[in-house]
Amino acid sequence: MIVVMRPTATREEVDEVRRSVEEHGLEAFLSVGDERTVIGVVGDVDRLTNIGTLPGVDQVIRVSSPYKLASIHEPGERTQVRIGQVEIGLGQELVIMAGPCAVESREQLMDTARCVRREGARILRGGAFKPRTSPYSFQGMGPPALTLLAEARQETGLPIISEVVDPADIEVFDAHVDVFQVGARNMQNFALLRAVGQSRRPVLLKRGLSSTIDEWLLAAEYILAAGNPNVILCERGIRTFETATRNTLDLSAVPVLRGRTHLPVVVDPSHGTGHRSLVGPMALAGAAVGADGLLIEVHPDPPNARSDGDQSLDFEEFGALMDELRRLQFVRAPTERAPLEEHKENAGGIEELRYKIDEMDARLAELIQQRAALALDVQRRRDPHVHGHDVRRERALLERAATGATGPMTPVELTMVFDAVLRASRSVQRRHAQAEVAGGDTATGNDR
């Protein structure tokens, strides 16, 4: 933490800050500039709750992250959350979670579940308890909806996500639901956060209507600190002065979160926009900006939906969006996800050829490793101060590639391949030689 003093701060005020830091068992490092004094604080800064109110203090800047478990420790760190067979995060394929805002009847849920499964969704959403702004609006079917959701999971094989609003419901949810959704209105319901944190079920934590990213991450920290590592964040729009959309979908939150947390991030373009016509474009934008998943409301008859009909896609609209996500390669066709073994049975077709290519790639990888092992042996037998490779033979190899190409590859393409193989082999040799030289130096006491 850095405490920046005002230019007018007196010596006594600076001393008072230092005393306060030290009284809390932390260390203070003073840097006295021409204009102001800056105090670096090292230790558990969470103990210093009132430092900003001391006389003469201008600004208190936190350097380390207050969310220890949610934050990244090295650039690019990502975690993966597993929901049954579905993996989300860590650069895996975009996961589509889709279904009605609220479960209304068996027929409505089953029809929607079949549709979203056919179109390529991997998780079925459906609200059983709806936290509505008005007490007179449809509040959800309650427990019977959970039974229907379990039935839909049974039939379609899709894991279920549903919002839990009360810690007392967690037990019954546990039996019917695969992912607990904590809604925007409950993002800072700390009793609920602690309660879902005591489970091991994945939790999808929506961003509060007017919460900053840091507040959201601190809410995630409650769940992590309670022992549940399976947290997924969901950007669902925030409240701004704009009225053309229901909320303002803050897509910049996705790359901002990437720089702060390892947790997977999902975008909800349905609540984020509030209008059916905006859901598709913002879903694509969410995918483009690097979301790990999308949460989308789908209804068989949106105009007659009991909640959020304006923002729900009908089956055709959802199908068109999924086609577009596939066309842009954010989502793969189910066949592309099939395990290798299935390919063997598909004799004669493209899959058969692809299977052969996969096998050949595996053999090539092995051969290239064997080649590198031989190159390493050559280096081992030489003086580490001398290059292990033979430039003359390398050149000859590249020349042969450049003149004698007999397959569909052009000489240039074949040369590119051998060039890459040679570079990698040389790098293996160099690493070994450097280690030898360093080891030798240590043995002889040289200090270079």
Q: Which is nearer to Mn ion, 132 or 430 (CB)?
A: 132
Q: How far is the CB of 277 from Mn ion (least distance, A)?
A: 17
Q: Which is nearer to ligand PEP, 39 or 145 (CB)?
A: 145
Task: Mark residue 293 as left, alpha or beta (left: phi above 0; alpha: psi -120 to 50; beta: remaining).
Answer: beta
183 near ligand PEP, rule: CB under 6 A: yes
Which listed residue (271, 276, 299, 306) binds ligand PEP by CB under 6 A? Answer: 271
**CA proximity to 123, closest of 88, 173, 75, 148:** 88
Calpha distance 21→369 (Å, rounded): 57
Q: Which is nearer to Mn ion, 221 or 308 (CB)?
A: 308
Q: How far is the CB of 97 from Mn ion (least distance, A)?
A: 13
- Out of Mn ion, ligand PEP, none, what residue 206 binds, judged by CB under 5 to 8 A for its kind, is ligand PEP
Q: How far is the CB of 129 from Mn ion (least distance, A)?
A: 12
Q: Which is nearer to ligand PEP, 95 or 101 (CB)?
A: 101
Near ligand PEP in 148-167, by CB under 6 A:
163
Q: Which is nearer to ligand PEP, 197 or 272 (CB)?
A: 272
The DSSP 8-state label assigned to residue 210 in this structure reads T
Calpha distance 296→294 (Å, rounded): 6
**CA proximity to 298, closest of 110, 86, 28:** 110
The full DSSP string for 279-338 is: HHHHHHHHHHTT-SEEEEEB-SSGGG-SS-GGG-B-HHHHHHHHHHHHHTTSS--HHHHS
Chain position carrying tokens 């493209």: 350
CB 193 within 8 A of CB 226: yes
Q: Which is nearer to ligand PEP, 51 or 204 (CB)?
A: 204
Between the CA of residue 221 and those of 59, 228, 292, 305, what are the distances in Å?
25, 10, 20, 35
Total chain residues near ligand PEP (CB under 6 A): 9
- β-strand 86-89 against 95-99: which pairing, if any? unpaired
Q: How far is the CB of 125 from ligand PEP (least distance, A)?
A: 7
Q: Which stretch binds ligand PEP (CB under 6 A): 25-33, 178-186, 312-320, 395-403?
A: 178-186
Q: How far is the CB of 139 from ligand PEP (least distance, A)?
A: 12
292 near Mn ion, rule: CB under 5 A: no
Query: Tokens representing 392?
Result: 């003359």
101 near Mn ion, rule: CB under 5 A: yes
Max Cα–Cα distance, the chain, nearest Å = 86
104 near Mn ion, rule: CB under 5 A: no
x/- string (CB under 5 A) for Mn ion, residues 304-343?
A: ----x-----------------------------------
184 near ligand PEP, rule: CB under 6 A: yes
**CA proximity to 311, closest of 295, 322, 324:** 295
302 near ligand PEP, rule: CB under 6 A: no
127 near ligand PEP, rule: CB under 6 A: yes
Q: How far is the CB of 82 from ligand PEP (least distance, A)?
A: 22
Q: How far is the CB of 308 from Mn ion (least distance, A)?
A: 4
As beta bridge partners, residue 232 has 204
At residue 347, the 3 state secondary structure works out as coil
Which listed residue (3, 83, 86, 101) binds ligand PEP by CB under 6 A? Answer: 101
Q: How far is the CB of 234 from ligand PEP (least distance, A)?
A: 7
Phi, psi dihedral angles at 144 (to 5 degrees): -60, -30
Near ligand PEP in 227-256, by CB under 6 A:
236
Q: How far is the CB of 103 from ligand PEP (least distance, A)?
A: 11
Phi, psi dihedral angles at 291 (to 5 degrees): -60, 155
Burial label for 58, CB within 10 Å (0-12, 13-18, 19+), is middle
Which residue stretches of 86-212 are H helix? 106-119, 143-156, 170-176, 190-197
Q: Which is nearer to Mn ion, 272 or 384 (CB)?
A: 272
Q: Which stretch binds Mn ion (CB under 5 A): 97-105, 149-157, 361-369, 396-404?
A: 97-105
Binding-site ranges for ligand PEP (CB under 6 A): 101, 127, 163, 183-185, 206, 236, 271
Binding-site ranges for Mn ion (CB under 5 A): 101, 308
